[in-house]
């Protein structure tokens, strides 16, 4: 009987040690070279088609709502870096969906620096009470440009954005008509700018943006680049 008491104590101590180790690993996954702003643009493009998250302005419901998923953890005191670590691990090795296996998240939907940036962004904003897309000056079109993450891929002087994944809008939009610009937004693979690959820009803006938002974005881009002169 004397031997049983120490053994009974060992189990909870080992369990606590294991939980502590998991917390240390997760909290240590934060990366100093991560760029959450770039991560936001990547999240909107790559993750927002499935996940709802208030700060990203995404509303898809194929996958979990990330604000709901992390709200309890954040309320219990989990840090940004811990949530970042959990997100990074989930990107690399996602859990299959039990509700609908066909909708399971593929592994490494983003990788390398892209994954680090997305994880840092989610760690900073997921589950934060009152989080909302950043407000920007310049009218509703400027807000759509910012909220949709366009600046993460495109350079536009008016928006002070410097993305290089897609074409420099100050160079390619002057002289284009409103119809041409709208087509490039809602059907981006219809005509690919030389030097850039196909299937990079999301092709679902017609579904994720209202027609009014598309029109506001087109107007903002034309006003910002001197477009609207083309036929």
CATH, residue 199? 1.10.760.10
176-181's contacts with Cβ under 8 Å and 24+ in sequence apart are 176/222, 176/227, 176/228, 176/229, 176/230, 177/227, 177/228, 177/229, 177/230, 177/231, 178/218, 178/219, 178/222, 178/227, 178/228, 180/230, 181/218, 181/221, 181/222, 181/227
* Domain hosting residue 158, numbered range: 140-225
220 versus 200: the higher-pLDDT residue is 220
In a domain, 231, yes or no: no
Among 98, 125, 152, where does a domain finish?
A: 125
pLDDT in tens, 79-114: 999 999 999 999 998 887 666 666 678 888 999 999
Residue 34 near residue 120 (C-beta atoms within 8 A): yes
pLDDT at residue 153 is higher than 70: yes
Residue 29 near residue 84 (C-beta atoms within 8 A): yes
**Distance between CA atoms of 35 and 119, rounded to whole angstroms?**
9
Mark whether 159 and 104 lie in a shared domain. no
In a domain, 58, yes or no: yes
pLDDT at 24: 41
Q: What is the mean pLDDT of residues 120-135?
A: 93
Strands (E), 132-209: 155-156, 161-162
Q: What is the pTM assigned to this prediction?
A: 0.61
Mark whether 118 and 145 lie in a shared domain. no
> Tokens in use for 195?
């030097």
In a domain, 31, yes or no: yes
Q: What is the mean pLDDT of residues 30-41?
A: 82
Which of 19-28, 70-79, 96-105 is modeled with the greatest confidence?
Answer: 70-79
pLDDT at 150: 87
As a whole-number percent, the residues of the chain with pLDDT over 90 amount to: 49
Torsion of Cα atoms, 187 then 192 then 198 then 202, to 10° = -30
- Tally of domains in the chain: 2
Mention every residue, 6+ apart, whose C-beta is less than 8 A from residue 54.
67, 125, 131, 132, 133
**Distance between CA atoms of 216 and 170, rounded to whole angstroms?**
18
Bridge partners, residue 52, by sequence: 59
**Distance between CA atoms of 153 and 184, rounded to whole angstroms?**
14
Mark whether 111 and 174 lie in a shared domain. no
In a domain, 172, yes or no: yes
**Distance between CA atoms of 199 and 187, rounded to whole angstroms?**
10
**Distance between CA atoms of 38 and 52, rounded to whole angstroms?**
18
Among 125, 149, 176, where does a domain finish?
A: 125
Mark whether 109 and 192 lie in a shared domain. no
Q: What is the mean pLDDT of the chain?
A: 83
Mention every residue, 6+ apart, whose C-beta is less than 8 A from residue 91.
107, 108, 109, 110, 111, 115, 118, 119
Confidence of residue 124 (pLDDT cuts 50, 70, 90): very high
In a domain, 173, yes or no: yes
Mark whether 114 and 166 lie in a shared domain. no
36 versus 149: the higher-pLDDT residue is 36
Mark whether 38 and 97 lie in a shared domain. yes
Confidence of residue 18 (pLDDT cuts 50, 70, 90): very low
What is the phi/psi pair of residue 52, to 5°?
Answer: -90, 135
Q: What is the mean pLDDT of residues 122-134?
A: 94
Place of tokens 């509703």: 140
pLDDT at 10: 40
pLDDT at 229: 54
Q: What is the mean pLDDT of residues 126-134?
A: 92
Mark whether 30 and 103 lie in a shared domain. yes
In a domain, 202, yes or no: yes
Mention every residue, 6+ apart, whose C-beta is less than 8 A from residue 166.
153, 154, 193, 196, 200, 201
Among 125, 160, 182, where does a domain finish?
A: 125
């Amino acid at each position: 009987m004397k031997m049983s008491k120490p053994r009974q104590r060992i189990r909870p101590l080992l369990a606590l040690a294991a939980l502590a180790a998991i917390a240390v690993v997760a909290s240590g996954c934060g990366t100093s070279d991560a760029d959450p702003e770039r991560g936001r643009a990547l999240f909107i493009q790559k993750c927002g088609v499935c996940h709802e998250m208030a700060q990203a302005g995404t509303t898809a419901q194929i996958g979990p709502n990330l604000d709901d998923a992390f709200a309890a953890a954040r309320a219990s005191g989990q840090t940004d870096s811990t949530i970042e670590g959990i997100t990074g691990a989930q990107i690399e090795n996602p859990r299959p969906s039990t509700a609908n296996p066909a909708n399971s998240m593929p592994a490494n939907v983003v990788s390398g620096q892209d994954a680090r940036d997305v994880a840092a962004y989610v760690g900073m904003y997921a589950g934060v009470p009152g989080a909302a897309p950043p407000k920007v000056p310049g009218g509703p079109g400027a807000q759509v440009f910012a909220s949709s993450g366009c600046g993460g891929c495109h350079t536009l002087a008016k928006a002070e954005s410097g993305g290089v994944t897609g074409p420099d809008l100050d160079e390619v939009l002057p002289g284009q008509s409103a119809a041409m610009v709208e087509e490039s937004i809602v059907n981006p693979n219809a005509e690919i700018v030389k030097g850039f690959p196909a299937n990079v820009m999301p092709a679902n803006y017609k579904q994720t943006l209202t027609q009014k938002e598309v029109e506001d974005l087109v107007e903002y881009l034309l006003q910002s680049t001197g477009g609207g002169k083309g036929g």
